[in-house]
A and B are shown apart, each in its own frame.
Chain A
Amino acid sequence: MSTNRMVSTTINGEDMALIIDDRMTLLDALRDRAGLTGTKEGCLSGDCGACSVIMNDRVVDSCLVMAAEAEGAAIVTVEGLADGTELHPLQRRFLEQAALQCGICTPGFLVTAKSLLDRNNNPSAAEIRLWLAGNLCRCTGYDKIIRAVEGASADLRAAKG
């Protein structure tokens, strides 16, 4: 018999109670129990970052977090970036710069970049590259992604005035 439990967490600002199996990772719970399929599964070994989410203000690979660990935690997934129908500056800039092709890596890049901009709204290109080193993209060659993050950081600074 497997061990099930209820986990109470806040996901994208909303209190949620998820019934999970203790074998599940946070990635499984988000996709299969919370129905939030924006978070992607890639390597399951911490290398690709497609599963990145923010947990208690730190970006983590959700494939390397047990679902039960989310008890009491505050989690932000890619679905939490937009404000209603208003896209986050990162999302707008990714579209404008065509910083995606197949798109499987994009949610992970957006979440990881958000965790950087939440901390530092004026990162250098080198800082952006270092912060995104745990996110792999097989399509774009990264330059457009870096430019999109730079653009979004300028937007955020301008909005702050």
Chain B
Amino acid sequence: MKPLEYHAPTSLDEAISILKAEGSQAAALSGGTDLIIQNRARPLDLAHMVDIKRIPELNVLEYDAKNGLRLGAAVPCYKVAEYEPIVRLYPALAEGAELIGSIQIQSRATVGGNICNGSPAADTICALIVLSAICAIRGPDGNRDVPAVDFMVGPGETALKPGEILVEMRLPPPPAQSSNAYLRFIPRNEMDIAVVCAAANITMDDKGVTCTAATVAIGAVGPTPILVQAAGAVLTGAKLDAAAIAKAAKAASAAARPIDDHRGTVEFRTHVAGVLTRRTVELAAQRIKEDAK
């Protein structure tokens, strides 16, 4: 094992300059629940870990009705899942964050680390996609914004360029008469990685009869999570009856591009992508009705 140097910068610029100078020898350390394990396997063999948890910008957690939610990349999952505005307005995100690992993992794992790790089965990415999150990135060349749907570019690969840090995720305030949900399928009750996952975000008209906007995303069924545009399209303008929801589910199954492995066959994953789409749409619609009461 070669030497490793730990850094704990308290400013973004300091962190970026270390990451830039050390290139592939360095990595950002958030909760470490992916990185520390990966670094035990030889290929990573880092010389520098840059702990980003002491940087104030990465610890922001605030909501207001005008600007929506700001979620710092280093906020641990237990805080995300407990934060009242997230539970009430962005339940899909709370559900994703809450599913990550055990209580011990929840203390440490972050939503930022979850998406920067780049797994297509990451439990928060589908929620961020349907909630139209913007990933605010800062690097040696300044700031840039990347929509969550474009953040993952391949298994383990993200839009981040060398030296760049994900600072925060910004979620627009949800429209009236809208809600959202996230579900995953795992063979056990807890502590497992999604075999298939899905999130839906639904907006209804004032009367709660016709769907005016819908977004569906599915994960673990392709090299990156998939925004199923066809599912959103069949729901928009429709009454959310069984027939419309079945069409959306079919569109999700058609969009899935899963692999075969011991955790699920192509056929099974394709089918479950449809089932979870139906259930998340129904759950989001149910939540809109409950909120209206």
Contact = CB atoms under 8 A, between A and B. Distances in A.
Interface in B20-63: 29, 31-33, 36-37, 40, 49, 51, 53
Contact of B33 (A46, A49, A115): A46
B6 A65 contact: no
B10 interface: no
B3 A61 contact: no
Interface of B, helix, strand, loop or mixed by DSSP: mixed
A23 B49 CA distance: 10
Contact of A3 (B4, B51, B53, B78): B4
B4 A46 contact: no
Given A66-B29, A68-B8, A49 B102 contact: yes
Interface residues of B, number: 27
A131 B103 contact: yes
Interface stretch (A52-60, A81-89, A95-103): A52-60
Interface stretch (B104-112, B140-148, B216-224): B104-112
Given A61-B105, A66-B49, A46 B3 contact: no
B215 to A, nearest CB: 31
Contact of A22 (B6, B33, B78, B103): B6
Size range of the chain A interface in the assembly: 20 to 34
B3 A3 contact: yes
B9 interface: no
A58 B3 contact: no
Which of A1, A2, A134 gathers the greatest number of chain B CB atoms within 10 Å?
A134
Given A46-B33, A66-B36, A23 B4 contact: yes
A65 B40 CA distance: 13
B107 A59 contact: yes
A106 interface: no
Contacts of A64: 31-33, 36-37, 104-105, 108
A64 to B, nearest CB: 5
B1 interface: yes
Given A25-B36, A49-B102, A134-B191, 11 more contacts: A1-B3, A44-B37, A46-B102, A55-B107, A60-B104, A60-B107, A63-B36, A69-B32, A69-B53, A115-B103, A134-B101
The 3 closest A-B pairs by CB, nearest first: A134-B102, A58-B107, A68-B6
